[in-house]
């Protein structure tokens, strides 16, 4: 227990389970007001000698009866409390029957069995199965599940569970029917799933490389049947990719996906029966943006890839979460890179890392990729476990090479198929398959914090040699002093370029060398370097580190134009624009007259007037870094000055290059039919980026406003429609109001589209934004019980509207605290995720610090605060 009286779990305390469960037969009887669950398990004691009690987890359950081998247990034979059922002296091998009653229609936490509208569905990861029946709810207990579901024929014509359908029939009781599903693969209970309701389905088929036919089914509400094509195509692409890339085939005869509107996260990889947030299934050109299309493809692939990395080989305990999540994110990123543009994909992956993970890693919730301790595991489904975890796997691939990595994956599956294992097991397979020493590399799993690299170099004309010195330091993180951390093994992808843009390395056509940084300070020497080279450092972001800028603006401007590594062109452009903005922020702070960094403007002009090779890359380079990312580079953030500085640069660019932006806007219009190819998406992105510059002019110009209105009213695709609406949202007035009303009328029947309507208003930089947001809380389409709505309105305001959320009157903070307190009693997981923008209060200037801290204190005081919110609030204050 900690000071707040909460139970704390430690990785070092892991113990193998006392009992195993070989199989479990579940019987669900679904009714309007309650569900009866009968669970019959075959239990076996692992340890022959000591006769320890059997401890089962259980929460919010109404226990009806417990039987062992058919005999009802008397109340003296077990102990029941709020979180467990303990059978005191069970035999060595026995059949355990437990009957419970649960109330899915009252379940607003969306964990366990709940209803999304009229549809029954489950979410068991991480610890939701204990809200269905008493069971040893831990991932290292693998059992064969058979599931019988019985319900009303009218209300639940479709009833699904994991595996294969083995029986159907009607029940004597009027108007009811049943199904029986059997999943032949032993699995942990977090992968259990049940769905029942009125659903329609889209069917397709995939023939595996060994020639087996797999039925593919996507279940949605009938009105959405025409929005499943892209999801289905994505699924088939993912199945093919996994065969081609890793030799991994699907293993059941059916693969089912169900879309529901109420879901805490993106989707869930339940064996053979994925359950998805409908946001990651449904698309159509009129309703989904390019980003949505890419998101659907990525999440469908992610959940599919879990079938091997997560399900066939699963986690021993929840501290190992990155074993499945880091690896699966790595796999879905590579898949998306191959389906779209590798450079664009890499940039987006790095943006997530820099804009969110670096922030987490520098704040009070920082934790290693494999955490040492937690209070509520749901709080550790983080960007660190997922995205930094993926970077760690990527570094393994960089160190071993693609072939070596594949050998490691093969060995990993060969050794561990059907097992629950650890991150160490994964690294051991990689090391053993290739004969590589990865001992030092493992520090990435146990040390939190973003390593900071400092680089210096000098070129010696006499000896034609070049020396590059790199130091690494890792900051303090909760419970780990930086000075006690061991150096990381860091792969540095390096290019050296001549002044006329040629690469100096050229072995086998590879212009990049991988250096191994293993010491705290190391010097790398290169010979036969006849002229002073320009350093292209950390190509493709070869490690999740923070490199202090060591190059002059001239060099960055050069790299931005000529680096043969396209990722690094973007990197240099971003460094240059960030430093240009932060320069202005510093001048605003001092009150000195503003002077611009002309090199930056020259670079931008060059990039928008040159022949455009890749519109998407140009758009990414022109989009200025968000305030949240810039804030990380300041010691004491004043959000008003930051916003002003960024706006000044944006306007200055727009003013100077109006004609060029207008030219880009006109020339990148899509001729002909709407497409979602990477090229078409790239052009839309560039066109809309140009429009966003034109719309940032001050005072606004009517002709550009008209362009924007025209785009809104003529566009037949949501990307263009919503961009126009977003750009206009920053300009209050009757035009703006009319467009929002228009949009509402047109889309009020489509919940996912309306999420965009809420989010855009919540992200308006206008100062009446918060009052609009408060007003929207009572819109009839808003609901605190729907996580997508909460994210769209409250989440968008607090984490997507830096300047208004941080308004100096503190009202943004107190609003968020009110919402968290209200949500805590409805859905603790969602409430806890909302706390994050308050946790980094130490980064802000004094007055805001006090205001933010005050709200954290106020939340902490709520009697009966959930463990989810409590952990984050108490670690942050
Ligand atoms: N395992 C899921 C994924 O990454 C994540 C997930 C879905 C989840 N629903 C959840 C995690 C609920 C915690 C709680 O694909
Ligand atoms: Zn996942």
Give the pLDDT confidence of 88-108 residue by residue, as tens digits. 999 999 999 999 999 999 999
Pocket-forming residues, ligand 1, beta carbon under 6 Å: 123, 125-126, 264-265, 267-269, 302-303, 325, 378, 381
Q: Which atom of ligand 1 is nearest to the CA of 386?
A: 4
CA–CA dist 568, 556 (Å, integer): 10
Closest to 469 measured CA to CA, from 459, 458, 455? 455
331 alpha carbon, closest ligand = 2
Q: Determine how β-strand 158-161 pairs with β-strand 213-220.
A: unpaired
pLDDT of residue 671: 80
pLDDT of residue 875: 98
pLDDT of residue 234: 99
pLDDT of residue 508: 67
pLDDT of residue 118: 98
Dihedral pair phi/psi, residue 252, rounded to 5°:
-110, 170
User: Which residues are CB-neighbours of 455 under 8 A, at least 6 positions away?
Assistant: 468, 469, 470, 535, 537, 547, 548, 550
Closest to 466 measured CA to CA, from 398, 547, 537? 537
pLDDT of residue 173: 86
* Backbone angle region of 691, left / alpha / beta, with phi > 0 → left and psi within -120 to 50 → alpha: alpha
Q: Degrees (nearest 5) of the Cα angle 760, 764, 767?
A: 150
Identify the H or E element spanning 497.
strand 490-497
Q: Which residue's CA is the nearest one to ligand 1's atom 7?
A: 268
Question: Is the distance from CB of 563 to CB of 536 less than 8 angstroms?
Answer: yes
Place of tokens 């050069």: 558
The packing angle between helices 423-434 and 389-416, to 10°, is 80
Closest to 254 measured CA to CA, from 273, 236, 268? 273
CA–CA dist 700, 694 (Å, integer): 8
326 alpha carbon, closest ligand = 2
Q: Which atom of ligand 1 is nearest to the CA of 302?
A: 15
Q: 257 vs 253, 267, 646, CA distance in Å? A: 14, 10, 43
Question: Is the distance from CB of 287 to CB of 314 less than 8 angstroms?
Answer: no
Tell how far the Cα of 381 is from the centroid of ligand 1, in angstroms: 7
Tell how far the Cα of 65 is from the centroid of ligand 2, in angstroms: 36
CA–CA dist 60, 586 (Å, integer): 54
Tell how far the Cα of 103 is from the centroid of ligand 2, in angstroms: 28
| Low-confidence residues of the chain: pLDDT under 50 | none
Q: Which residue's CA is the nearest one to ligand 1's atom 2?
A: 268
Number of residues assigned to the chain: 877
Ligand 1 pocket: which of 113, 129, 265 to mutate (most atoms within 8 A of CB): 265
- Active-site positions read 303
Tell how far the Cα of 436 is from the centroid of ligand 1, in angstroms: 33
323 alpha carbon, closest ligand = 2
Tell how far the Cα of 629 is from the centroid of ligand 2, in angstroms: 25
Tell how far the Cα of 1 is from the centroid of ligand 2, in angstroms: 30
Question: Is the distance from CB of 606 to CB of 621 less than 8 angstroms?
Answer: no
Q: Which atom of ligand 1 is nearest to the CA of 267?
A: 7
Q: Which residue's CA is the nearest one to ligand 1's atom 15?
A: 268
Q: How many CB atoms lie within 10 A of CB 734?
A: 7
CA–CA dist 774, 830 (Å, integer): 19
Q: Which residues pair with 206 in a beta bridge?
A: 214
pLDDT of residue 312: 99
DSSP states along 687-746: HHHHHHHHTT-SS--HHHHHHHHHHHHH--SHHHHHHHHHHHHTS-SHHHHHHHHHHHHH
Q: Which residues pair with 259 in a beta bridge?
A: 276
Ligand 1 pocket: which of 114, 189, 267, 322 to mutate (most atoms within 8 A of CB): 267
CA–CA dist 418, 239 (Å, integer): 20
Q: Which atom of ligand 1 is nearest to the CA of 266?
A: 7
Question: Is the distance from CB of 814 to CB of 855 less than 8 angstroms?
Answer: yes
CA–CA dist 446, 427 (Å, integer): 13
Identify the H or E element spanning 206.
strand 200-207
Structure tokens at 478: 């909760």
Domains of the chain: 24-197 (2.60.40.1730), 199-306 (3.30.2010.30), 313-446 (1.10.390.10), 452-548 (2.60.40.1840)
């Amino acid at each position: 227990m900690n000071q707040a009286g909460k139970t704390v779990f430690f990785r070092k305390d892991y113990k193998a389970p006392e009992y195993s469960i070989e199989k479990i037969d579940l019987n669900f009887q679904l009714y309007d007001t309650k569900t009866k669950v009968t669970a019959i398990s075959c239990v076996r004691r692992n340890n022959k000698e000591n006769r320890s009690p059997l401890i089962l987890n259980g929460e919010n359950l109404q226990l009806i009866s417990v039987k062992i081998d058919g005999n009802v247990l008397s109340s003296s034979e077990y102990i029941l409390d709020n979180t467990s059922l303990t059978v005191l002296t069970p035999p060595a091998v026995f059949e355990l029957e437990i009957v419970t009653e649960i109330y899915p229609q009252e379940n607003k936490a969306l964990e366990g069995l709940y209803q999304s509208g009229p549809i029954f569905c489950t979410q068991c990861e991480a610890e939701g199965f204990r809200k269905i029946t008493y069971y040893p709810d831990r991932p290292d207990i693998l059992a064969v599940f058979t599931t019988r579901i019985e319900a009303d024929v009218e209300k639940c014509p479709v009833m699904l569970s994991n595996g294969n359908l083995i029986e159907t029939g009607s029940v004597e009781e009027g108007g009811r029917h049943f199904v029986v599903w059997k999943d032949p693969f032993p699995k942990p209970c977090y992968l259990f799933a049940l769905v029942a309701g009125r659903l329609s389905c889209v069917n397709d088929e995939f023939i595996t490389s060994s020639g087996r036919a797999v039925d593919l089914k996507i279940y949605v509400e009938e009105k959405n049947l025409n929005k499943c094509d892209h999801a289905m195509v994505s699924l088939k692409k993912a199945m093919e990719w996994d065969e081609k890339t890793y030799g991994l085939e699907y293993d059941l005869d059916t693969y089912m996906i169900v879309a529901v509107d109420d879901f805490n996260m993106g989707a869930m990889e339940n064996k053979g029966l994925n359950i998805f947030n409908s946001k990651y299934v449904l698309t159509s050109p009129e309703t989904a943006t390019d980003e949505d299309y890419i998101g659907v493809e990525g999440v469908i692939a992610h959940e599919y890839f879990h079938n091997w990395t997560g399900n066939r080989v699963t986690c021993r305990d929840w501290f190992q979460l990155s074993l499945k999540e880091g690896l699966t994110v790595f796999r879905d990123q590579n898949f998306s890179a191959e389906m779209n543009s590798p450079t664009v994909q890499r940039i987006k992956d790095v943006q997530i890392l820099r804009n969110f993970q670096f922030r987490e890693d520098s704040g009070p919730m920082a934790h290693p990729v494999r955490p040492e301790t937690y209070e509520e595991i749901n709080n550790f489904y983080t960007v660190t476990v997922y995205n930094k975890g993926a970077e760690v796997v990527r570094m393994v691939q960089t160190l071993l090479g693609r072939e070596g990595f594949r050998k490691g994956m093969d060995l990993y599956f060969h050794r561990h198929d059907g097992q629950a294992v650890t991150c160490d097991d994964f690294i051991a397979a990689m090391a053993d398959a290739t004969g590589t020493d990865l001992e030092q590399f493992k520090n990435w799993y146990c040390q939190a914090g973003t390593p900071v690299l400092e680089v210096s170099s000098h070129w010696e004309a006499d000896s034609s040699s070049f020396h590059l010195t790199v130091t690494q330091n890792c900051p303090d993180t909760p419970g780990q002093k930086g000075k006690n951390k061991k150096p990381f093994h860091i792969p540095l992808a390096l290019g050296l370029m001549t002044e006329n843009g040629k690469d100096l390395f050229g072995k086998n056509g590879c212009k990049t060398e991988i250096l191994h940084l293993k010491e705290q300070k190391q010097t790398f020497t290169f010979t036969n370097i006849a002229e002073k080279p320009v350093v292209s450092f950390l190509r493709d972001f070869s490690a999740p580190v923070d490199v202090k800028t060591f190059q002059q603006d001239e060099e960055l401007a050069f790299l931005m134009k000529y680096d043969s590594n396209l990722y690094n062109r973007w990197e240099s452009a971003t460094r240059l624009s960030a430093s240009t903005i932060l320069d202005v922020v510093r001048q605003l702070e001092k009150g000195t007259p503003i002077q611009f960094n002309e090199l930056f403007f020259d670079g931008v002009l060059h990039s928008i007037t040159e022949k455009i090779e890749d519109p998407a890359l140009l758009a990414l380079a022109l989009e200025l870094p968000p305030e949240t990312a810039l804030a990380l580079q300041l010691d004491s953030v004043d959000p008003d000055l930051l916003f002003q500085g960024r706006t000044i640069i944006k306007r200055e660019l727009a003013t100077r290059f109006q004609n060029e932006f207008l030219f880009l806007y006109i020339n990148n219009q899509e001729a002909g039919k709407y497409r979602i190819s990477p090229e078409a998406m790239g052009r839309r992105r560039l066109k809309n980026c140009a429009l966003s510059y034109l719309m940032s002019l001050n005072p606004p110009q009517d002709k550009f406003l008209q362009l924007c209105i025209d785009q809104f009213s003529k566009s037949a695709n949501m990307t263009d429609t919503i961009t126009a609406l977003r750009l206009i949202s920053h300009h209050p007035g009757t035009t703006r109001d009319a467009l929002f009303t228009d949009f509402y009328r047109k889309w009020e029947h489509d919940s996912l589209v309306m999420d965009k309507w809420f989010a855009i208003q919540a992200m308006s930089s206008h100062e009446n934004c918060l009052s609009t947001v408060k007003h929207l809380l009572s819109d009839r389409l808003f609901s605190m019980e729907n996580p997508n709505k909460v994210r769209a309105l409250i989440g968008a305001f607090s984490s997507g509207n830096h300047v208004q959320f941080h308004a100096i009157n503190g009202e943004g903070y107190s609003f968020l605290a009110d919402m968290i307190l209200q949500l805590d009693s409805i859905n603790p997981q969602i409430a806890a995720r909302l706390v994050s923008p308050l946790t980094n209060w130490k980064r802000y200037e004094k007055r805001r610090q006090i205001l933010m801290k005050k709200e954290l204190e106020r939340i902490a005081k709520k009697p009966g605060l959930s463990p989810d919110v409590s952990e984050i609030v108490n670690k942050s204050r």
